[in-house]
Homo-oligomer: A and B are copies of this chain.
Amino acid sequence: MPNPTAAMLVIGDEILSGRTRDANMHHLAGELANSGIDLCEVRFVSDVHQRIVDAVNALRASYDHVFTSGGIGPTHDDITADAIAAAFGVGLAVRDDARAILTAHYQRTGLELNAARLRMARVPDGAVLIENPVSAAPGFSIGNVHVMAGVPSIFEAMVAGLLPTLSAGKPLMSQTLRIARGEGEIAGPLGTLAAEYPQLSFGSYPYVQDGAFGANVVIRGSDGVAIDAAMVRLCALFPEATA
């Protein structure tokens, strides 16, 4: 059986404006590879309601799982819950279980559960909460869409709680050979070898270092025996390279 497929949707202007470098995509990609869920596509969209709605609907129709990051806080630019509800055509309201989580959290910390904070208890009808062990305000799953916070420490904690509940496939394994030759010399024999192992993916990632060209060739797949065999063949083709 093939691995489940996934997409990610990163919501907000922060990364698109160039201010901040992505962290959540990189984290999720690594976690999904370990879980045997194939991350096939990631989209970053700005804080525009219809763009979020359209992206959610396109991705949830195309992949087994969609993971979102960002836009579920208390401020005016946090519009993700509204957009998810609109994408699914369901209502959005403060829900008792989510409110109870926030009430307990703010009582513990001595802060007021004001109107802005109460927005974080709004959940689309039919969603299941995702626990937030860092700052209480929950994420939620609706259908195959899992909605999580953008702050990296909170996103990572939510992913850690969520992933074990999803049916997983075979972990993605890889081996890398660093070859100090231009890709143009690697390409011919590599293409021939790749064609012999259709169940594996052979990626060639060129680099420039101190003015010299080389490539990291990465063999990926969930069949460890085949990866080992292909790696032996690859090393024989480029005996000067380093694994």
Residues of A within 8 A of B (CB): 12-22, 25-26, 29-33, 39-48, 51, 73-78, 111, 114-117, 119-120, 134-135, 150-151, 153-154, 172, 174, 176, 182-188, 190-191, 194-195, 201-208, 213, 215, 218, 220
Contacts and interface: CB of A to CB of B under 8 A. Distances in A.
A19 B218 contact: yes
Contacts of A135: 208, 213
Given A40-B45, A153-B208, A184 B13 contact: no
Main secondary structure of the interface of A (DSSP, over half): mixed
Contacts of A43: 41-44
Greatest chain B CB density within 10 A among A78, A194, A204 is at: A204
A174 B19 CA distance: 9
A208 B75 contact: no
Contacts of A18: 26, 29-33, 39
Contacts of A205: 14, 20, 150
Contact of A186 (B75, B111, B218): B75
A74 B184 contact: yes
A75 to B, nearest CB: 4
B203 A13 contact: yes
Given A29-B16, A44-B42, A75 B22 contact: no
Contact of A46 (B40, B114, B116): B40
23 contacts: A16-B40, A16-B41, A17-B220, A18-B33, A20-B205, A22-B22, A41-B45, A42-B44, A43-B43, A43-B44, A74-B183, A74-B187, A75-B183, A75-B191, A76-B187, A76-B202, A77-B202, A77-B203, A78-B204, A114-B188, A135-B213, A150-B205, A151-B208
